[in-house]
Each structure stands twice: as structure tokens, then as C-alpha cells.
Chain A
Amino acid sequence: MIRLDHVRKVYRTRFGDNVVLDGVSFDLHMGERLGVLGRNGAGKSTMVRLISGAERPTAGRIERSMSVSWPLAFGGAFQPMLTGVDNVRFISRIYDQDFARNLAFVEDFSELGAYLKEPVRTYSSGMRARLAFAISMIIEFDCFLIDEIGAVGDARFHDRCNHELFGKRGDRAMVLISHDAGYVRDHCNRFALLHKGKLTLYDDFDIAYDAFREQIGLVARPMVDHATATNRGALIEVSQHRAHQDDRFRMLVQEGDWQRDARAWTEAERRYAEALTLYPYQRSYWVQHAHVAKENGHFARAEASYRTACALGEPLGDVYEHLAFVMRRQDVEPDAWPVRPYHKGPVHDQVPGRPDIGALARLLWQDGVLDDGEMVERLRRDTSCDAVMAAMLHDPRFADAHRSWLEAARTRGMAQDAAAEPRDGEVTADAHDVEWARAVCAMALPDLSPAENQALVDRITGDPDAWATLLAANGFAGWPLAQAALQQLLSPDAEP
């Protein structure tokens, strides 16, 4: 049995004490597999290190009456200068085990072959993970600590790890932490949520997960650093990675995955769409969104999402087959409307996706919601952000939405100062408004400094005259088609 009794862990830092664990108590018996959920930095790994004995608690007691492993798949347990064989020999000596038998097992499980005789520092991360896991399995601990095992390796390796751990060693005690809540659900029989230093125990995954979900929702939006991404190209590049660092995004796409696996297409589509509102330029989940829309029979929507994914950089080869399928189901020959892949260059030249058209629609038509048919029509026809914008300017909805601006501009020119009269009172804006403002600024004025960009975003967030403000700030200046469309609209012989 392992017993934690009011365990407290405090790290001294330059900016004061950081209380990571604040009175954590639980018992863990043989056969119990405890899955720990918690946000990034909640202290899950610290707790595992304390249980392993590598680190000592600031206060409280940890009793172990069974042997406890080191955190599994932890590559740091090796000496990188030594060969794989030497590492096996060292671990065998430390734990008083039969070296020859262990080496045979590691050779068999890790499938590293001759590499075992090379220094570990020459291994790839996948090879390290295989060696680490194999070495972890040679000691028959009573309790295994598993910290993010799913992070490396291919599917077959995962299956073999799961078989070794949960199959052959299913009778042992385990503490498992993972970003993948599904992994925790599938392999644990007790659950816990670590939040603000406190650990709450649950017997039921769904209850634990609901609490986790609520907690993530309650916490304010994490600090996402937009400072380095003031233009659309940069936003696309950073979104792929940043999205996965955001607990809310991860949770939404995970739930989407679960719903997809349960073939609940509508639910899955909703979750993916929600996730993509948070990070509209995250291409791989546009593909997922398209897949579930396709399964659900929304072929136009699926096509729009596939095209968006490609516009944001998803390799065409990976989605072409699916795209061709949904186009044929709409009775359209795939070759009639070729897909345009992502390319760098000035923003107006970049290939538009759904988020761009949505943002422009809100700016130009004051209505960000397009139906699937119209969206896919735009994506098929318009090769660049510039072309989309020109087409949308020619649409009567623009003149309807900006009638007074058009009239004023015909007399005074475009660069009138719309924000001359200060806005009164607080502007009510939610996170979506801010995101929209960012997206629009990243298109209209991509070369601003981070500070200028922020000032502009603040100014047009929730601003009903955002359009006028942007043009006054010389937005969309280098967009030839859009500028031509504007000139045409403003010319005296245009219809009032």
C-alpha cells in the first residue's frame, strides 16, 4: 500500500513560495489504478516524483509498503553517454537482477538491434522511448508510476506497452497521468483531479471529468501570446502549436474525438467547430471537422472545411480523396474547381479559408454567418483573400451595411476619420469579438508592430464602425482587387 498523508510541497522561487501540493492525502492499494487529471502545471508530475521518492515533501508523510517504480518511459533515467547495454547492466546491478535475462528482454521488446551497443545519445526520441519503456519493464515493481507515456512512439509500440502494463501487470497498483483523458478513462479504476494543490478523488470517470471540464471553463482564458503574430501568415504558423497548449482547445477536440468514435457526428462536429472558434487557423482540426461533416452528410460544409485545411497548409495529398468524394456527392466534378494549397507571400495573395471569409463577412456585411453553399462557392471561386474581398464588396450586402459610410466617402474620400467622435460608455465585447478583431487586423494591416497591432485590436473590438476605422488607418492598402472594387463603388456614376 502507498499512503500519502497531508503531503505538502512548496518550491521556493525568486518571486515567493509556490505551493504545488497543499495537503494531499490518499491510499493506494494493489490492483488500484489511479488516473490523475489536472491542468498544465497543476503539479501532477511533482506528485508522481514525490511518490517515487526521488523528491521529498516539504511536510506530511509518504509511506510505501510496496516497491514503487520510477516514472515510466522517463528517458532521463539513462546516462546518454553509455550504450543501451550498459544502461541495462547498470539498472540490473542497482536492482540486483539477472543481467543476461534482462538484456534478452530489452533486445526483444525494444527492437533496437545493433543500436543497443551504441551510446544512447545517438538515439532518436522514439528509440529512447522504446529503450526507456523496455528497461522500465525489467523490474517487477508492485506499483508503477506512469507519466505521459502516450507522448512518443507509434501505434504498434503503444499497443505493446499497453499489453505489458495493463495486460500482464494489470494486478499491480498504478498512478497514471496523461494529457489524454481518454487514456486515463480506459485504463484506470480510480480517478482524481488535482487543482490548486488539492486532490479530489472520484470513483467514476464521468464525474471526475465533469469536474475537470467545469474547472477548465471557470479559469480565465490562458495567456496566449499574440505578440509575435500580427499578420495572418504568422498566425497560421503559431496556431498549430499554440492550440495544443490551450487546455480548452485540447479538451474540446478530445471530446470531439470521443463523439466521433461513438459515431455521434453532429455532436462531434459541434465540438470541433467550437475548438476551431478558439483557434481558427489550426488546420488539422479543419480536416477532422470535414470528416465528421462528411459522415453526417453535409457535403458542402465538408468541402469548405477540406478546402480551408488545404489553404492553411494541410498537404493536399492527405485530403484529396475525401475532397473528391464530397464534391462528387454534390454532383460536381472535382477537377472543375482545383484546390489551392497554402503559400506564403503578402496577405492579400494568400489563399482564403473559412475563418477569413467569416471575418470579412462580419466586417463588410455585418453578418459573419454564411450558409454552406455560399461559403463553398467563395472558396471554389476565389483564389486569394483579395479576390474574396473584392467579390464581397461587389455584393449588395456591403452597400446595405455601409450605406452611410459610402455616401460620406463619395464626398470626402475614403480616409475620413470615422472615430473622430469618441465612443461613449464601455463597449461590451466578449472573447469572440477580440478574436475577430485580431483576425481582421492580421489581414488588413499585417505589418504593424505588436504594440500598434494591440492598440488597433483594442480600438476595433466591438466597434460598430470597425470598417471605417480600418480604412482610416490605411487598412487593405495593398489589396489591388479590393481597392479597385472600392473605387468603382465610390465613383460618381455608381448607383447611390
Chain B
Amino acid sequence: MAKAVSTDPSLRESLRVQIRILGALLVREVLTRYGRHNIGFLWLFVEPMMFTLGVTALWTATKSVHGSNLPIVAFALTGYSSVLLWRNMPGRCIGALWSNLSLMYHRNIRVLDIYIARLILEFGGATISFATLSVLFICVGLLEPPENVLEVAGGWLIIAWFGAALAITLGALSHESELVDKLWHPASYLIFPLSGSAFLVDALPKVAQQYVLYIPMVHGTEIVREGYFGSKVHAHYDLGYVLPFCLVLTFVALVTTRWVASRVVPE
């Protein structure tokens, strides 16, 4: 039986409810997105894997110029996986509230929960895809094992943090204006070549380096590459820039979500 509303729940109690809600939303999300047919929820990471494999193959075939002596496979894997991470998160959060408006009738579910559930899923998919492909390439001998796994993880998490904060902000704004959806698609394609996935900052002219480092995901990608290839590359990044950037963006995301939550009208 449902308990009467407790007016002052303990932190522990709240946390328990929060985890339960996110768990339920995750299962629901996986079932609605992937269903129970064919490989089901394996699509979660098979889909990004196919993307990365395809791009890797393309770049290998065209012998893309990337301004370093790194093997092209290694370059494509680290670069394109990072793109998938920050690009798919906003893609999933934009319009997420519209398709889940009916959930607002359940008072334990908040607008932010809907976004977080989708972000966890997206993060999980991209991470599993990245890890699986890494292991695969390493086993086949196309890739050396990363020199510093922890640094790779750190860079990866920074990209994820940025992606999540951006996703929540755009997701919330998209509920108020469909312009966000329209603009995000071209924007994400235009930022892609600038995001550090298709080049090493070190290979750019000095003037360009200065400007390209204003783009936050460049820092994360550079860290990932430094963790992977260590001494073979000279990475350019500044934690003193990217971390405060993400912090401020997170704040913006939470404020926007709160604003949207106060205006949401369920069907």
C-alpha cells in the first residue's frame, strides 16, 4: 500500500526513491526504444559500434590526413567515439519531455529524471561501444593498449559531463521552442569537424590552436588521446578552462529544467 505523503523525508529515503524511479525509467526506456525483438537492448551499443566501425573504415580507406603519425584506426576510434558521446546525448534529450508528458502525472517523477534516465542510457551505450571496440582492435593487433587507462577514463568523463549538461539545457529549452531541435542538427554537424575528433590540436597552426581550445570537447578528446597514446602525441588542454565551463553549464541546465518544470502542461 502506498504510504501517506511524508512531509519531511530523510536524505536516505529520498535517495532510495530517486534510484527506484531512475531504475524504472531506465527499464521503460530500454523497452520502448529497443523492444524485445531481434537483439533487443544490445542495439544500445551495437548501433554506436556500427557508426564507429563505418567511420574508421572510411577514414582508413581515404587515408585521411590528420596531422600525426598515429595509426588511422586508433585516431578514428578515439575521435569518433568521443563525438558519439557528446552528440547523441542532446539528440536524445531534445523533445524527450514531449513524448513523456504523461509521466508528469506521477508525482515522484520529475522532469530532470526523464533526462537523467536517457543520459545514463546514452552514456552506457557509447561507453560500452568504445570499450568493446578498443578491446577488439587491441586483440586483433590494430591498436596498442592505452598507456594510461585512468586518463582515458578521465577525459571520457569530462566529455560526458559536458555532453550531459548541454543535453539537459537543450532538452529543457526544446520544450519551450522547437527552434532548438531545428538548429541542433546543423549545429552538431558543423561542430563535429571542430570538436577535435578529426585533428590533433598540435597539428594546427598556433593561431588556430588558440581559438579551437575555446571549444570544450576539444579538451576532453585531447585528454583521451593523451591517455591512449601518451608520449606519441603532444596534447593541448586546460582543465582550468573546461571544468569551470562544465560547472557553469550544469548550473544553467538545472535552472532551465526548473523553469520548464514550472511551466509544463501535461496532456
Residues of A within 8 A of B (CB): 11, 49, 52-56, 64-68, 70-71, 74, 76-79, 81-82, 86, 89-91, 93-97, 139-142
Contacts and interface: CB of A to CB of B under 8 A. Distances in A.
A185 B123 CA distance: 54
6 contacts: A65-B4, A65-B5, A79-B28, A79-B32, A91-B106, A94-B106
Given A65-B7, A70-B106, A74-B105, A55 B264 contact: yes
Given A49-B266, A55-B266, A142 B28 contact: no
Find the residue from A52, A74, A96 having the highest chain B CB count within 10 A.
Answer: A96
B20 interface: yes
B106 to A, nearest CB: 5
Contact of B105 (A71, A82, A96): A71
Contacts of B209: none
Interface string B42-54: 0000000000000
B104 to A, nearest CB: 4
B108 interface: yes
A93 B27 contact: yes
Given A78-B102, A94-B24, 14 more contacts: A49-B266, A54-B107, A71-B105, A74-B105, A76-B101, A77-B102, A81-B31, A82-B31, A90-B24, A93-B23, A93-B27, A94-B109, A97-B2, A141-B2
B55 interface: no
A82 B24 CA distance: 13
Nearest to A93: B24
Contact of A93 (B20, B104, B107, B267): B20
B15 to A, nearest CB: 14
A82 B32 contact: yes
Interface string B92-116: 0000000001101111110000000
A67 B108 CA distance: 11
Given A53-B107, A74-B105, A67 B5 contact: yes
A11 B263 CA distance: 9
Interface string B22-36: 011001100110010
B74 interface: no
B61 interface: no
Contacts, number: 78
A82 B30 CA distance: 10
A77 B107 CA distance: 12
A87 B70 CA distance: 50
Contacts of B105: 52, 54, 70-71, 74, 76-77
A contacts with B: majority SS: loop
A66 B2 contact: no
A485 to B, nearest CB: 58
B185 to A, nearest CB: 24
A335 B264 CA distance: 64
A4 B230 CA distance: 63
Given A49-B266, A76-B267, A141-B2, A55 B24 contact: no
Contacts of A139: 2
B20 A96 contact: yes
B208 interface: no
B168 to A, nearest CB: 20
Nearest to B3: A67
A81 B2 contact: no
Given A66-B5, A139-B2, A86 B107 contact: no
B266 A81 contact: no
B21 interface: yes
A354 B20 CA distance: 65
B265 A55 contact: yes
Contacts of A70: 105-106
Interface string B145-175: 0000000000000000000000000000000
Nearest to B102: A76
A53 B102 CA distance: 12
A486 to B, nearest CB: 58
A82 B36 CA distance: 10
A94 B107 CA distance: 10
A94 B32 contact: no
A50 to B, nearest CB: 10
A97 B2 CA distance: 8
